[in-house]
Structure 1
């Protein structure tokens, strides 16, 4: 369940540096290296790679129809994140979508996550662990590999 604390955390900005907190600490994740929470830059880069590939496919087969691009993007996210734990963009930037237990996300969470990701707003509202509302709803986290 999402409450005011989840939404309020992004309004307050990231915690100050040097206070012993880092994204993912509450979830038992390391502060840096493999298994640490992926930062915003890598996640944004991954989604741009994925969207660009989907746009190329949409341009080739659907005359760059916006809904076709979104559908291809959703299909890519559901199939690849659901089966492998990462999309093409995630793979290029060495990221993985995992369940909170550390296993690859799985098909159910990938569907929930993708549907909310396609709405955009849940992806840009995130908590102190840098998990968007789409990841919180799917009980997933994006980590560095």
Structure 2
């Protein structure tokens, strides 16, 4: 008897691994990214934003202060929104072998590779609020990913 369950689910459709409900592989390219790489990419992007803010404000990155913190947050937001939305991932994502996919069906693949600027802005706003990023589902999609209809996968 044939099962009507989605790929990656057991006979009764239960959860087996992150991404199985979305038709993503369990391991390798296209599988849902792990927390370690995602956190490392986030920290790397935050440091890069700090270096850019340091150059703009003329203050060293370790100086801190309200104006520097604001400049760093605005830089991080812009970097994340533009790069994730239009390039499929931030600098940290690229360096750590990750990419951001839209879950809307694409023409040549299961999911479209480009999130779009609006999706990037939605992700970035919620990511900057922090809380949506730490509230996630069993597919490792934070509220920022769910709102933008995206997922972070391995390259």
Give your verdict on TM over 0.5.
yes
| Aligned counterparts of 2:97 and 2:123: Cα–Cα separation in 1 | 19
With a CA cutoff of 8 Å and minimum separation of 6, indicate the structure with the bigger relative contact order: 1
Structural RMSD (CA): 1.3
Q: Does 2:151 correspond to 1:141?
A: yes
| Aligned counterparts of 1:71 and 1:31: Cα–Cα separation in 2 | 35
- Where does the alignment leave 5 or more consecutive residues of structure 1 unmatched? 1-18
CA deviation map 1:71-130 (0-9, x unaligned)? 000110111111111100000011111111322211111111110000000001111000
Larger Rg over CA atoms: 2
- Where does the alignment leave 5 or more consecutive residues of structure 2 unmatched? 1-13, 106-110
TM-score (norm 1): 0.84
Which of structure 1's runs of 4+ aligned residues deviate more than 4 A? Answer: none
TM-score (norm 2): 0.78
| Aligned counterparts of 1:138 and 1:113: Cα–Cα separation in 2 | 6
The size of the alignment, in residue pairs, is: 127
Shift of 1:57: 1.4
| Aligned counterparts of 2:46 and 2:27: Cα–Cα separation in 1 | 27
The equivalent position to 1:108 in structure 2, one of 108, 115, 118, is: 118
Q: Which residue of 2 aligns with 1:55?
A: 50
